[in-house]
Chains A and B, each alone.
Chain A
Amino acid sequence: MLSPQPQGISADLALVTGLKSGDQGAMAELYDRYSSVVYAVALRVLGDTGEAEDVLQEVFLQLWRRPSAFDAARGSFRSWLAVITRNRAIDSLRKRRPETDIDDVVLSVAPDLAGDVERARAAEKVRGVMGTMAPAQRSALEMAYWEGMSHSEIADKTGEPLGTVKTRIRAGLIALRKAFQG
């Protein structure tokens, strides 16, 4: 085990460096820090605790096997892990072979939400912004992100024109961005 543990991004980086040299204690520490994030994302996508647990295992094992896939210069570890988990869970949801390698996930200077308090605040803020969106816009964004649907699948499901779906999704993401810039 690494003790005492520094907090935040530098601690994440030290732990990921530990993985590269095969430190199983570092793996346990990273799991303790981030398993609830990974599990929450997987469960949000899959809605099934067993499948979510499988994705949790898969994501952390991939991290163990390929720790160098995380590039600290290009994003926070928490964000990177959350996005990987979402992608893997979507693959599982759609019963397809994993399409997204963890090496492919690049978040350039992703939001620094390292602390639990800050993360909880940010999550609440995201949910607040989503809550202010028109139901059709929120729904389009959620179908794309949490269900992995393409724009044409969303258009088919909602009966709305493709252009409307595209506009709603982009406007939703921009609204999120503005909330965190302001």
Chain B
Amino acid sequence: MSEHEQYAEDLALYALDALRGEDRARLDEHLATCAACRLELEQLRRDTALLALSAAGPRPPQRARQRLLDAVAREARVPKIVQASPQRSWWGVLGWAAAAAVLVCVALLLRDNLGLRESAISARSEAAKNARELEELRRIAAPIVDPGAQRVTLVSTNAPPQAQGKAFYLRNRSSLVFLANNMPALPLGKAYELWLIPVSGAPIPAGVFKPDAHGSASVVNPLLPAAIEAKAFAITVENDTGASTPTMPILMMGAGG
């Protein structure tokens, strides 16, 4: 029996979330290093989705619609400062570390604030504290995000500008902010893809991006597996829909510090 066959039945249980304990831990370990089994798991998840779609029954009661819309109306959308950042074209070398730190903090605080809305009254004072901190961070970020700000990138006078990228990764929150500038333009249909290189296992896609006219780009909080330890980050050129495995060559790479 091959290694993949050995895991075939456990993969089906995994897709159904019916595998627990040591069996699950053992399979998690195998999945981290086996692309074939990851693909089979994706297929099995599609199979289980068919089961979900087979459910049929009465429509929900009419009151449920209004109940939902009332709840939605009560939840004012928090402005997505972080989401606006991919459009910016001005990330200068000197401002990167501070800007990214602010972005990470803003993103985390926004997330915290959303979570706090669901909390009990006793959490309100904490929410107010976070709101004050968020306001302070916005004030600090203003010179960076204000379109009217003067932005200057300082580079060596002896060399042409080099493509640069910086990744800021919080493993315990699976939060990642990546900022790049001086990125070369890409052919039509192509995009850059950021990869998280784990300590063990295959590279994990961490966002597809295209630079703007000034060569600047960013990726903010891409979908990542939980708590993966990053050995390095890398960038390749892929089709603009992204890839599940990197296409060589690796254009840029940096090891975690």
Judge if A169 is at the interface, Cβ distance under 8 Å: yes
> A111 vs B59: C-alpha distance in the bound complex, in angstroms?
23
Q: Contacts A110-B46, A111-B49 hold; do A44 and B12 have CB atoms under 8 A apart?
A: no
Task: Count how many chain A residues have C-beta atoms less than 8 Å from C-beta atoms of the other chain.
Answer: 75
Instruction: Indicate whether B15 reaches chain A with its CB closer than 8 angstroms.
Output: yes
Bound together, the chains give a CA A36 to CA B72 distance in angstroms of 19
For the complex formed, measure the closest distance between the CB of B47 and the CB atoms of chain A, giving whole angstroms.
4
| Also in contact, A22 and B71, with CB within 8 A (given A108-B46, A169-B12, A170-B8) | no
Interchain nearest-CB distance for B170 vs A (Å): 15
Which residues of chain A are within 8 angstroms of B65 by Cβ–Cβ distance? Answer: 28, 31-32, 35
Write the B60-97 contact mask toward A (1 if CB under 8 angstroms, else 0): 11001101110111011100100100000000000000
B10 part of interface (Cβ distance < 8 Å): yes
- In the assembled complex, the CB of A164 is this many whole angstroms from the nearest CB of chain B, namely 10
Chain B, Cβ-Cβ closest to A53: B64
Enumerate chain A residues within 8 angstroms of B226, measured Cβ to Cβ.
104
* Given A35-B60, A60-B68, A87-B17: A65 in contact with B114 (beta carbons within 8 A): yes
A36 to B58, CA, bound (A): 7
Query: Restricting to B130-167, which residues have a CB under 8 Å from any CB of A?
Result: none
B231 CB, min distance to chain A CBs, angstroms: 23
Shortest CB-to-CB span from A121 to chain B, Å, is: 11
Q: Is A35 within 8 A of B64, CB to CB?
A: yes
Q: Which of B37-45, B177-185, B192-200, B249-257 contacts A (4 or more CB under 8 A)?
A: B37-45
Is the CB of B121 closer than 8 A to any CB of chain A? no
Q: Would B55 and A41 count as touching, CB distance under 8 A?
A: yes
Tell whether, in the assembled complex, residue A144 and residue B75 are in contact, meaning their CB atoms are under 8 Å apart.
no
Q: Are B48 and A43 in contact (CB under 8 A)?
A: no
Q: Within the complex, which residue of B18, B54, B60, B242 is in contact with A39, where a contact is CB–CB below 8 Å? A: B60
Min Cβ gap A14→B in Å is 17
A9 CB to closest chain B CB (Å) equals 15
Question: Closest Cβ of chain B: how far from A2's Cβ, in Å?
Answer: 15
- A150 with B46, Cβ < 8 A, contacts A24-B72, A57-B68 known: no
A137 at the interface (CB under 8 A from B): no
Complex: A121 Cα to B42 Cα, angstroms: 23
Q: CA of A87 to CA of B16 in the docked complex: distance in angstroms?
A: 10
Contact pick for A122, options B45, B50, B60, B83, CB 8 Å: B50
A126 to B49, CA, bound (A): 11
Quick one: which of A139-176 are within 8 Å of B by CB? Answer: 141, 144-146, 148-152, 154, 163, 166-167, 169-170, 173-174, 176
Q: CB < 8 Å: which of B11, B49, B67, B75 contacts A83? A: B49
B9, CB-defined interface residue at 8 Å: yes
Task: Please report the C-alpha to C-alpha distance between residue A52 and residue B61 in the assembled complex, in whole angstroms.
Answer: 11
8 of the cross-chain contacts (CB-CB < 8 Å) are A35-B64, A40-B56, A61-B72, A75-B46, A141-B51, A148-B18, A149-B18, A170-B8
Q: Which 3 A-B pairs have the closest CB atoms?
A: A22-B77, A126-B54, A170-B12
